[in-house]
Chains A and B, each alone.
Chain A
Amino acid sequence: MTSIKPTRRTLLKTGTAAAALATFGPGILRHASAQDVDLSPYKSAQIDWQQVSGETITVAVIPASYFENLITLAPQFKALTGIDVRFEKIPPAQIRQKSVIDLTSKTGTYATHAADPMYYALYAANKWVEPLDTYLNDKSLTDQAWFKLDDIIPAWRSANGIGGKLYGMPYDGEVTIQVYRKDLYDAKGLKPADTLEAYMSNAAALNTPNDRVWGAALRGVAGAGQNMYIYPSIFREFGGDWMKGGKLTVNGPEAEAALAWYVDIMKKYAPTAAANWNWPDIADAFSQGTVASYIDAHSSASVVNNPEKSKVIGKVAYARWPKGPSGKRTTSIWNWGFPINSALPEKKRKATWLFIQWAASAETQARTAHRFAGPTKRSGVNRTSVWRDPDYIKLMNGFGENFVEATMGALQDDTDVDWRPRVPQWPAIGDTMATAIQSALSGQATIKAALDDAQRRIEPMMRG
């Protein structure tokens, strides 16, 4: 017969306890999971993970799910090595600027950072970062049989190498592939394009702006990582060579044909606004059903398959780059790698290497991808063995037809180390080319004039 009548005091007490639990609960749980987690896969490596226990390093990454997943696992790294890692999230445009300032001033703020592969030429020329072979070959620091460097995607390793030496360990990467609406293609009896010519005619066949469907879209906005991310593939497919006769060359007949193709498809079959789009905008448009196909990073598959936004789930399929007149398919070889800052004292360099080894290991790659507990799984793992893991394949095939085949095919056969000119002057060259491409697209300059002008601007940079 006794009923519980909560007094004001007990209510307050319970409320406070609940609030405290809500505030600290997740932290306690996280802590617990770090304790319980199985570290034996790491401990099978024949090295002393605890050798620089007590060190603290700061790592700069960009805000992206694949780094968020790694950050979530940081307590495991701490438990394994005793090293504290502070992560700083910096947007992509600023991370280059901040890390270059840190490296030039030799302040050693960032032990490592998510590095752009195009910057290694600059880093290595100035000896700002360490050649990683020193660490890889040191038996006290690396168990090569456990780490299996060869398992890491070769194209990304060569992209991060200068003169045969590796400077940044690939962590996550992407390739560019065709993403298309299978339902629209099927309705017109079209197949994913095998050549750039066919890609153009497919776009023409599907382009019905009155129904708010455009044939294709490519990155249009000017920037070294925007239009100058997609154009180099076209340039190479048309037979272009950045280092013609040992001299950096951006103009000439192949370049003109490549830029003409790009301007043509963008002007005729892409939404007008695409001239100002970066890839999130393209993926957003595609997910709303207004673009029939695009060529961009395979990782965009997670956006076009996001159930909260996308209207095209189940209608998406993938294919490798169409071949160019040269008979080649050329994908991007983008990856975020981790270099070691040379300005660090020795112990911190060791701690940094242990962090890099841990992050790039097959075990951590799997734990941040298909074995990750959170909602967003990574799609850009750095190891062939993970790409062949049936669990990973099962997860990735959820993105649509042919996703794993197209991505793996591109990774194995379509990568090209000379996709973009790998010279220390790249940052300035990338910007100059981006402006040239945009001025041709907007009609401010003819294709030839835009490229010749870029060449004139680039020549003095190469002398300087």
Chain B
Amino acid sequence: MTAKRLRVIALLAISMIFLLAWAFPIIWSVLNSLKTDSDVLAYPPKLFFSPTLEAYRDVLLGSGSILPNLLSSVIISVGTTVVTMLMAVPAAYALARLRFRGKKFAGFYVLATQMLPPVGIIIPYFLVLRNIGWIDTYQGIILIYLSFSLPFAIWLLVSYFEDIPFEMEEAAYLDGASRLKTLWRIIIPQVRGGIAVTVVFVFLNAWNEFLFAVVLSGNTVRPVTVAMFNFVSVEQTLWAKLAAVSVLAMLPVVVLGVVAQKHIVKGLTVGAVKGGGRR
């Protein structure tokens, strides 16, 4: 009994250490976002200070307000997620269930864009968008984001579809349901969890993306990840404001994470047991 309790305490202590290491940057950002610039630089670091919302007021309502950037991020992330899911669900189902020529290759080539280092494809993407006049537009950025979110989503969803026993579909067919109806009524409700996980991952990737956004965006479309960088100027780093923007940019991610936590954890482990590695 005591041995068991000791083990629990030891495990708890170890987890606390890790938790602290991971949570520290976040706690630090939150604290800094509530300080004045002079408190940020104070040594020893002040744990007790009179908190101020000045940094938040500045970044939200000041001259360099990031509200339009947050809106940009929302449009890009939601747009990417919706389009991705509309295409990924049927594609993943097809790869999991249908037999068609070139299926094996299709499964492989879906991943092709994931095999190139992103830096290597920025310039071609830039040129393509430039030629069709889509630089600095939402459709342009969403199109580029699809090139990596779609394969990822398909790949993730296939393993969920494969988990569903074929007999369930057969039963539906016997009752006279068409394939589409079966997909909609029988299959999709079964992979709700998988869809939720995929939505979360696709959204997070789009929300946090920086590399493509910085090159392909401009004044009209400028997500918060890019705008945030302007607080690190050549003259000085505006720590308090930078922290405030970070916290604001983190919020939707954290909220989404908490809401979808149950599904995320399952999503991370699903490939470990079966599915993902099968092909």
Query: Residue A10 at the B interface, CB < 8 A?
Result: no
B-chain residues with CB within 8 Å of residue A92 when the two chains form the complex: 234
Choice from A98, A290, A299 contacting B214 with Cβ under 8 Å = A98
Known: A63-B233, A283-B236. A88 touches B41 (CB 8 A): no
Query: Residue B65 at the A interface, CB < 8 A?
Result: no
Query: Residue B271 at the A interface, CB < 8 A?
Result: no
Residue of A nearest to B131 (CB): A107
Contact across chains for B123 and A62 when beta carbons are under 8 A apart? no
Query: Residue A105 at the B interface, CB < 8 A?
Result: yes
Residues B195-225 near A (CB distance < 8 A)? 214-215, 218-219
Contact across chains for A94 and B123 when beta carbons are under 8 A apart? no
Query: Residue B134 at the A interface, CB < 8 A?
Result: no
Residues B217-257 near A (CB distance < 8 A)? 218-219, 229-230, 232-237
**Distance in Å from the Cβ of A299 to the closest Cβ of chain B?**
7
A-chain residues with CB within 8 Å of residue B218 when the two chains form the complex: 88, 109
Contact across chains for A101 and B123 when beta carbons are under 8 A apart? yes
Q: Mark A89-116, 1 if CB is under 8 A from B, else 0.
A: 1111010011001001101010000000
Contact across chains for B235 and A302 when beta carbons are under 8 A apart? yes
Contact across chains for B230 and A105 when beta carbons are under 8 A apart? no
Residues B147-185 near A (CB distance < 8 A)? none
Residues A164-210 near B (CB distance < 8 A)? none
Q: Mark A238-275, 1 if CB is under 8 A from B, else 0.
A: 00000000000000000000000000000000000000
Choice from A65, A88, A91, A306 contacting B219 with Cβ under 8 Å = A88
Known: A64-B234, A105-B123. A94 touches B37 (CB 8 A): no
Contact across chains for B126 and A101 when beta carbons are under 8 A apart? yes
Q: Assign chain B's interface to a size class.
A: 20 to 34
Contact across chains for B127 and A309 when beta carbons are under 8 A apart? no
Complex alpha-carbon distance, A12 and B38, angstroms: 39
Known: A105-B123, A284-B41. A303 touches B219 (CB 8 A): no
B-chain residues with CB within 8 Å of residue A308 when the two chains form the complex: 36-38
Complex alpha-carbon distance, A283 and B218, angstroms: 31
Contact across chains for B38 and A309 when beta carbons are under 8 A apart? yes
Query: Residue B187 at the A interface, CB < 8 A?
Result: no
Residue of B nearest to A303 (CB): B236
A-chain residues with CB within 8 Å of residue B46 when the two chains form the complex: none
Q: What 13 additional pairs, Cβ within 8 angstroms, besides A90-B214, A308-B38?
A: A91-B229, A94-B229, A101-B122, A105-B123, A105-B130, A109-B135, A284-B41, A284-B236, A288-B43, A299-B235, A302-B235, A306-B236, A309-B37
Residue of B nearest to A87 (CB): B219
B-chain residues with CB within 8 Å of residue A86 when the two chains form the complex: 219
Choice from A62, A107, A109 contacting B234 with Cβ under 8 Å = A62
**Distance in Å from the Cβ of B57 to the closest Cβ of chain A?**
14
Contact across chains for A287 and B41 when beta carbons are under 8 A apart? yes
Q: Assign chain A's interface to a size class.
A: 20 to 34
**Distance in Å from the Cβ of B170 to the closest Cβ of chain A?**
54
Complex alpha-carbon distance, A362 and B59, angstroms: 34
Contact across chains for B123 and A65 when beta carbons are under 8 A apart? no
Contact across chains for B235 and A64 when beta carbons are under 8 A apart? yes
**A residues apposed to B, CB below 8 Å:** 62-65, 86-92, 94, 97-98, 101, 104-105, 107, 109, 212, 280-281, 283-284, 287-288, 290, 299, 302-303, 306, 308-309
Complex alpha-carbon distance, A92 and B38, angstroms: 25
Please give me the 9 A-B residue pairs with the lowest Cβ-Cβ distance, nearest first.
Answer: A63-B230, A91-B229, A63-B233, A280-B236, A280-B237, A107-B130, A309-B38, A94-B214, A303-B236
**Distance in Å from the Cβ of B220 to the closest Cβ of chain A?**
10
Complex alpha-carbon distance, A101 and B218, angstroms: 14
B-chain residues with CB within 8 Å of residue A64 when the two chains form the complex: 233-235
Residue of A nearest to B42 (CB): A288
Contact across chains for B235 and A280 when beta carbons are under 8 A apart? yes
Complex alpha-carbon distance, A288 and B230, angstroms: 23
B-chain residues with CB within 8 Å of residue A306 when the two chains form the complex: 236
Residue of B nearest to A63 (CB): B230
Q: Mark B103-142, 1 if CB is under 8 A from A, else 0.
A: 0000000000000000000110011001000010000000
Complex alpha-carbon distance, A94 and B232, angstroms: 12
**Distance in Å from the Cβ of B210 to the closest Cβ of chain A?**
10
**Distance in Å from the Cβ of A385 to the closest Cβ of chain B?**
25
Complex alpha-carbon distance, A109 and B215, angstroms: 12
Known: A101-B215, A105-B127, A308-B36. A288 touches B232 (CB 8 A): no
A-chain residues with CB within 8 Å of residue B234 when the two chains form the complex: 62-64, 92, 280
Complex alpha-carbon distance, A339 and B232, angstroms: 25
**Distance in Å from the Cβ of A307 to the closest Cβ of chain B?**
9
Complex alpha-carbon distance, A109 and B123, angstroms: 14
A-chain residues with CB within 8 Å of residue B43 when the two chains form the complex: 212, 288, 290
B-chain residues with CB within 8 Å of residue A303 when the two chains form the complex: 235-236
B-chain residues with CB within 8 Å of residue A89 when the two chains form the complex: 230
**Distance in Å from the Cβ of B139 to the closest Cβ of chain A?**
18
Complex alpha-carbon distance, A309 and B237, angstroms: 12
Residue picked from A63, A97, A104, A107, most chain B C-beta under 10 Å: A63
Complex alpha-carbon distance, A98 and B37, angstroms: 31
Q: Can you offer 14 A-B residue contacts whose CB atoms are under 8 A?
A: A63-B233, A64-B234, A91-B232, A101-B126, A104-B123, A105-B130, A107-B127, A107-B130, A109-B130, A284-B237, A287-B41, A299-B235, A303-B236, A309-B38
Contact across chains for B123 and A98 when beta carbons are under 8 A apart? no
Complex alpha-carbon distance, A299 and B229, angstroms: 21
Complex alpha-carbon distance, A97 and B126, angstroms: 12
Contact across chains for A97 and B215 when beta carbons are under 8 A apart? yes
Complex alpha-carbon distance, A104 and B236, angstroms: 31
**Distance in Å from the Cβ of A175 to the closest Cβ of chain B?**
15
**Distance in Å from the Cβ of A120 to the closest Cβ of chain B?**
19
Residue of B nearest to A94 (CB): B214
A-chain residues with CB within 8 Å of residue B123 when the two chains form the complex: 101, 104-105
**Distance in Å from the Cβ of B169 to the closest Cβ of chain A?**
49
Residue of B nearest to A302 (CB): B235
Residue picked from A65, A90, A107, most chain B C-beta under 10 Å: A90
Known: A62-B233, A107-B130, A109-B135. A288 touches B214 (CB 8 A): no
